[in-house]
Structure 1
Amino acid sequence: MSEKGALLEVLLAEYNCLKSEQAQRIGFRDNLLYVTLGVFGAVVSFALSDPGHYYALLVIPWVCVILGWTYIVNDEKISSIGRYIRYELAAKVKACTGHDDPETLLGWEVAHRDDKHRKRRKIQQLIVDEITFVFSGLIALGAFWFMAVNPPLGVTFLSLIELLLLVALGIEIFTYADLGRGL
C-alpha cells in the first residue's frame, strides 16, 4: 500500500471514530430532554401534593442548570466534531486524494447543513431548549415565590442564585445555538 493510501486509511478510520462519538453524543444529548421532563413531572407532582412540599420546586432550577449545561456541552462537542470533519479532516483527505469537490468529499457533512429549512429548525430547537431548560426553571421559581409563605432568608437567597444561573444558562444556550447555514 502506498504512503497516501495508508494515510487515507488512517483518515477514514478517524472519520469513523468521530462519527461514532458524534452519534453517541447525539443520543445522550437528546435523552437529556426526556430525563429533564421526567424529573420535572416527579418534582412537580411531589411539590403540589402538599403545601409543605412547595420547597421541592427549588429542585427544578438546579435540574435545569445541571442538565441544561450538560446538554450544551454535548451539543457543542457534536458541532465541533462536525466542524473538524468539514474543515480539517476534509482538507487532509483532499490533500491525500487530490479530490477537492466539497459536495462529494465527505458530502453529508456539508449537505445536511445546507438545507433551506435548517435555520428555521435550529430556531425552533433553540426555543425548545430555552423552554425546557430555562423557562421551566423560571416557572418553578415563580410558583415557589407565589406559593411559599415567608420562606427563610437563606432560601430566598438560594432562589435568587438559581435565577441568576438560569439567566446565564439561557444566554449560553443562545450563544451555542449554531444557527449558521452551510459550511
Structure 2
Amino acid sequence: MSGTRIDEAVQDDSSRAVLLAEYEALKAEQTSRIVLRDRLMYAALAALAATLALVVQPAGRPYLLLLLPLVCVVLGWTHFVNDQKISAIGRYLGQYLAPSLVASTRRADQALTWESVHRHDPLRRLDKSVQLVVDLLIFAVPALLSIVLYWTADDVRADLLAVSIAEALFTLGFAVRVIAAADLSAGR
C-alpha cells in the first residue's frame, strides 16, 4: 500500500470514528429526552389528581383550579419541546449523519436505516393521530376544563377572572401550536 493510500485509510477511519461518536452522543441525548418526555405525562397526571384532591375538599377553594392550567402548560410545553428535539435528532441522523457514514465507507448501501425505515409503518398516521389526541387530553383539556369549572364557581373574583382568561388564551395557544406541529404524514 502506498503512503497516500495509508493516509487516506487512516483519515477514513478517523472520520468514521468521529461520525460514530457523534451518533452515539446524539442517540444518548435522544434517549434521555424520551425518558424525560414520557415522565412529563405522568407528572401532568399527578398534578391533575393533586389539584382535584385540593378542590373537592370541604373548604371549597375553586381558585385552586387555576393552578392546573399553569402546571399543564408548563409541563406540556416541556413535553412538546423535548418531542421536537427527539424528532430533530432523528431527522439529523437520517438525513446528514447516515449519508456521511455511507460516504466514509465508500459503500452504496445505507447506514442507520432504522432512523427512516421505522417511520414507514402502515399505522404511523393512526399512531401519530392518537398521540396528538393523548397529548391534548393530558396537557390542554384538563387545563381548559379547570378554567371553565372556575368560571362556574360561586365566588369568582375579578382579579382571578382576568388570570383565568389569560390562562385560557395561553392554553389555547399551546394547543394550537401542538396541533400545528403534529406530523400526521404516513412517512417521513
1:57 & 1:150 partners in 2: Cα distance?
A: 13
Q: CA deviation at 1:95?
A: 1.7
Unaligned runs of 5+ in 2: 1-8
Unaligned runs of 5+ in 1: none
- Tell whether 2:129 aligns with 1:123: yes
- Tell whether 2:169 aligns with 1:161: no
Counterpart code for 2:14: A
**SS at structure 2 position matched to 1:26:** helix
Query: Root-mean-square deviation (CA), in Å?
Result: 1.3
* Structure 1 residue ranges, 4+ long, deviating more than 4 angstroms after superposition: none
What is the number of residues matched between the two proteins?
Answer: 180
Within-5 A mapping of 1:60-139 = 60-102=68-110, 105-139=111-145
1:168 & 1:158 partners in 2: Cα distance?
A: 15
Q: CA deviation at 1:83?
A: 0.5
Partner of 2:6: none
| Preserved CA contact (<8 Å) 2:124 2:187 | no
1:99 & 1:106 partners in 2: Cα distance?
A: 13
Q: CA deviation at 1:142?
A: 1.1
Counterpart code for 1:49: Q
- Structure showing greater radius of gyration is 2
Q: CA deviation at 1:51?
A: 4.8
Within-5 A mapping of 1:3-22 = 3-22=11-30
TM-score by length of 1: 0.93
- Tell whether 2:44 aligns with 1:44: no
